[in-house]
Amino acid sequence: MLVACSAATFGIINAANAVRSGTAKTVLVINPEILTPQINYRDRDSHFIFGDVATASIIEDESTATGEHQFKIIAEQPITEFSNNIRSNIGYMNQCSPETAKDVDKYFIQQGRKVFKEVLPMVSNLIAAQMDKVNLGADDIKRLYLHQANINMNNFIGKKVLGRDPTPEEAPIILDEYANTSSAGCIIALHKHHDGFSSGDKSVLCSFGVGYSACCLILEYV
């Protein structure tokens, strides 16, 4: 799916809709992220470390779901808003012509300060709207699984959503181990930090980035 940093969560929503409509019983959502070839180390705003990884999520009807650590989707919303401030253009795979192989349009391009200023309010409002939809307040959210691009962005969103600085347990960070893995980041955070839940506990799964795109799911632990 061409929504970059939100591909995993957009994919989960599409899978959930397929299950609800009866067109599928079980859907395996796989999102490989091959990011390091896209880095332009000559550009200050985009040479931060990316990681290469793949994650997989299984989406199925609750009547047939088995196994440990299951989450039920109780609210969801993807959004897009056009911006040219984060883009990859045609990408690094189009480097066949030697005279243009190293041109900047073959690499990831970002205007980081504009992104920080514009994306964070959009994401914070999206999460708040989905919480309101299912009548949840800040005290009802056990964990925030956020897109893993920048710890300052996650802390900002966590503070907006919770009304205070989130603890490391409430908004887990996996950047130190995996770096920025685009849409896979929030899935890795969920996978690595899903202990301590009781039935009925609520959490937020949210990714955001290129496009701009963002996608928020409210999850209930089964």
With contact defined as beta carbons under 8 Å apart, do 59 and 43 qualify? no
Concatenated DSSP letters for 39-100?
A: --TT-TTT-S-B--EEEEEEEE-TTT--SSS-EEEEEEEEEE---SSEE-TT-TT---SGGG
Q: Is 196 left (phi over 0), alpha (psi -120 to 50) or beta?
A: left
Task: Order the strands of the 71-80 sheet from edge to edge.
Answer: 71-80, 213-221, 202-209, 141-146
186 labelled catalytic: no
Beta-carbon contacts of 118 under 8 Å, excluding residues fewer than 6 positions away, are: 83, 85, 212
Q: Which two tokens stand for residue 182?
A: 């685009």
Per DSSP, 193 falls in state S
With contact defined as beta carbons under 8 Å apart, do 196 and 116 qualify? no
Helix (H) or strand (E) segment spanning residue 159? helix 151-162
Q: What is the rounded CA–CA span in Å between residue 212 and residue 86?
A: 8
Q: Which two tokens stand for residue 216?
A: 């928020």
Which residues are part of the catalytic machinery?
5
